[in-house]
A = this chain, B = another copy of it.
Amino acid sequence: MSRLEHTLELVAINSVSRNEAAIAALIEGRLRTNPALDVERIGDNVVARTTGLHATRLLVAGHTDTVPGDPTRSRVDGEVLRGLGACDMKGSLAVMLELATEPTVRPVEVTWVFYAREEISRGESGLLEIAQLRPDLLEAQAAVLAEPTGGVVEAGCQGTLRVSVELAGARAHTARPFAGRNALHRLGHLLHRVAAYEPRTASIDGVDFVEQLQAVSVGGGVAPNVVPDLATCTLNHRVAPDRTKDEAFAWLRGYLGDCVEPDDILEVADWAPSALPSLTNERLKSLADLSGQRARGKMGWTDVATFAELGVPATNFGAGDPLVAHHDDEHVTRGELDEFARVLGRWLA
């Protein structure tokens, strides 16, 4: 099978977050065809390691889940594979499986990590599950996280802050709204302000990070003739590595200003930390050199931050255009897969 066909096989398996059992079983079975690998299944995660005596161990990791969507609409369209998760990140997973199962002898030990539940709250992350149960499996001198980067080394990552908002109002009959206060109208002012956000750019070690602020869910409503007394909203703020969680939350509170009043609730629902670029690391610098492209800062949050916490210098590097991840038109091309396989293969050699 071609690389596009191998990718299609993975894309056709529904692996929306928390439904990774089937894809993990396929990956585990494929890895076990290589007798040189020590394969371990931990929950819905799979880790495969060479166990030779080389002093250097490199790690390559990817998540197996996708955001919600319809996995049955995938198809190969000439040189392009279209479908849910094609780019984020089953194209890279297919290349990882190919390199992991080929009989090549390498001058380094390699650890291959396939993990579940990356696209939802970090507390559920399969990588954290491995880190908790078997931290020894994640030890390495350097790591590549195969998130889609278009074949460019994307250094570090931004933090991601999820904030819950509850705006209070007072119920009344909709024919006499002046007797109450419409919490949804208050939500309108808040969303209006969020929509007016102008991204801040932070330059760190010559790499730029652009922050973002988005509303990701809203809710509210009592009955068709009742002025609602509660509006809920969840905001997602992408934070550059020069700000801590507390600094980012304080900034957000200030930015929302009088849209949030003392009786309302504004609280952190989730935080995943940022990671500074690790381009001073020799192994990661050589990856950037092999890619032939200038490194840039990673805009999205990724588990590069988790590896940073574990003391493993890591960077994002994978096949596929990050701009189409989580997008209706998600896809990956044959050329992107070939280039990723070439650079990753040479890095491990």
Give the contacts of A140-198 with B (CB-CB under 8 A).
Answer: 158, 160, 162, 170-177, 179-180, 182, 184-195
* A326 and B236 within 8 A (CB): no
Q: Considering the complex, give the chain B residue whose CB is closest to the CB of A17.
A: B223
The answer to the question of A70 belonging to the interface, with a C-beta cut-off of 8 Å to chain B, is no
- Note all chain B residues with C-beta closer than 8 A to A238: 174-175
- Interface pair B270/A224, CB less than 8 Å apart: yes
Q: Determine if B179 and A323 form an interchain contact, defined as CB atoms under 8 angstroms apart.
A: yes
- CA–CA, A231 and B182, complex, Å: 18
A301 contacts B by Cβ under 8 Å: yes
Pick from A17, A188, A229 the residue with the most CB of B within 10 Å.
A188
In Å, the complex CA distance between A180 and B17 comes to 22
The count of chain A contact residues (Cβ–Cβ below 8 Å) is 65
Question: Known: A221-B217, A224-B236, A225-B67. Is A327-B119 also a contact (CB below 8 A)?
Answer: no
- Separation in Å of the A327 CB from the closest CB of chain B? 5
A325 is an interface residue with CB less than 8 A from chain B: yes
How long is the Cα–Cα vector from A229 to B177 in the complex, in angstroms?
30
- Whether, in the assembled complex, A328 has its beta carbon less than 8 Å from a beta carbon of chain B, the answer is yes
Question: Which residues of the other chain, B, contact A43 by a CB distance below 8 angstroms?
Answer: none
Using CB atoms, name the residue of chain B closest to A323.
B179
Q: Which residues of B contact A184 (CB under 8 A)?
A: 191, 215-218
Task: Find chain B residues with CB under 8 A from A120 CB.
Answer: 223-224
Chain A to chain B contacts (Cβ below 8 Å), 14 pairs: A171-B326, A173-B300, A173-B325, A176-B322, A182-B195, A182-B215, A184-B216, A186-B195, A189-B195, A214-B227, A216-B225, A217-B220, A217-B221, A229-B328
By a beta-carbon cutoff of 8 Å, the part of chain A in contact with chain B is 17, 67-68, 88, 119-121, 158, 160, 162, 170-177, 179-180, 182, 184-195, 212, 214-229, 231, 234, 236, 238, 270, 299-301, 322-328
